[in-house]
Structure formats: C-alpha cells, structure tokens
Amino acid sequence: MSIRLGDEAPDFEQDSTEGHIRFHQWLGNSWGVLFSHPADFTPVCTTELGLTAKLKAEFDSRNVKALALSVDPVDKHHQWIEDINDTQNTTVNFPILADADRKVSELYDMIHPNASATLTVRSLFIIDPQKKVRLIITYPASTGRNFNEVLRVIDSLQLTDNEKVATPGNWLPGDRVVIVPSLQDEAELASRFPQGYEAVRPYLRFTKLK
C-alpha cells in the first residue's frame, strides 16, 4: 500500500509493550510520530529509542505521542528495553509495536524488498489529530534519524496550520517566516501582520511572528 501526504493514516490493531493498541483510538486528539526499526537489539535503533525517551517532555509540550515499531515479538521487545534503558541512561516511556506478523509494516509500506525482504526500513510518519499523514521520511537502515528535524517539522506544521505562513529552508522557531502567496488582500495582511513584512519579491514576503 502506498501512502501519500494528506491521506488518512491507516488504522490498525496490534500488540505492543504497553498492551493492545487500536491506533486511531490510541492517538485520540494528539499528533503522532510512528516510526519503524529494522529489528530489536540493533545499535542504531537502540540509540534512537533512547533519544525518543529523553525527548518525551518535548513531545508532550507539542501534544505528540510517539509509537515505535519492530518486527519482533513483545517478549523480545521487553528484553531489548532493558538494554535501551541501561545503555542510553533513560527509561523507555512509549509503546513499541510488536509487528511479528508484518501487518502494520505492510500496511504502511515499511518493507522495501530491494533493501531487505523481511526487515523494515527506517520509516517515519507524522500524523495529525485528524489522522492525516503530514510527513513521510524514509532512511536507510544504516542511518539514524535526526529527531531535532522531527521536532522542527512538527513545530512548522503546527504553526502553519494556524497562520497563513510557510517556513523557509532551515527555519527554526523564532525565525522569520514567509507569507503564503495566496494572501493578497491588503486589509487582511495588515490585520494578520501588524508588525509589517518585507517584500523581497511580490511572491516572497518575510515577516516575524510575535
């Protein structure tokens, strides 16, 4: 199944380290980060899950739930969590799906046969409270993800959902943003951006939100 931006994230039921999960119900009114791992007891995944645990306060402040996935069973996940907690000096505080039957992996197209016929690639999906897919990133198994970028994208999505702006390349919270080209009404521009804006070109207008 091919998933594209704007699609409804497929619902599923699957066991996890925190019990049986019905995905849409579990997500509720939160944003979600669903991300896959090739297998348990692998070095890059161990660092990623440790980092995710350490970022819980950052995710919570953005109303985001993290949900990991590996194709191994629950009992093996629990053994792996002990290693993660020990080696990464943290406590895993989010569920890890036990996708031994590959149900979720196949539903979300996480298995790429030319990379591996059985193991998932490092897929990551950001899903909004309306259950829409807002970001898809796929890394090779050898490359760990940049979770600062994941947080940055969430910040951008949440900002631009509420303001008629977009975020430029390398944007970070607090930086200038660009006004969407479709906004041309001068009265609305003045109302939305009383601080003013810089028009470098008619289509390229920068402003800084308060």
What is the predicted pLDDT for the residue at 33?
98
What is the predicted pLDDT for the residue at 158?
98
What is the predicted pLDDT for the residue at 99?
92
* Prediction pTM value: 0.92
What is the predicted pLDDT for the residue at 121?
57
The predicted-structure confidence for 70-124, as pLDDT tens digits, reads as follows 989 999 999 999 999 999 999 999 999 999 898 998 899 887 555 454 455 578 9
DSSP 115-169: T-SSS--EEEEEE-TT-BEEEEEEE-TTS---HHHHHHHHHHHHHHHHSSEE--T
The CATH architecture assigned to 13-144 reads 3-Layer(aba) Sandwich (3.40)
Q: What CATH code is assigned to 163-207?
A: 3.30.1020.10
Annotated active-site positions, please?
45
pLDDT (mean) for 126-130: 98
The yes-or-no verdict on residue 8 having pLDDT over 70 is: yes
Average pLDDT taken over every residue of the chain: 92
Q: Where are the domains of the chain?
A: 13-144, 163-207
What is the predicted pLDDT for the residue at 75?
96
The predicted-structure confidence for 46-68, as pLDDT tens digits, reads as follows 999 999 999 999 999 999 999 99
Using a pLDDT cut of 90, give the percent of the chain over it: 82
Non-local (6+) Cβ contacts of 147 within 8 A are 48, 51, 52, 55
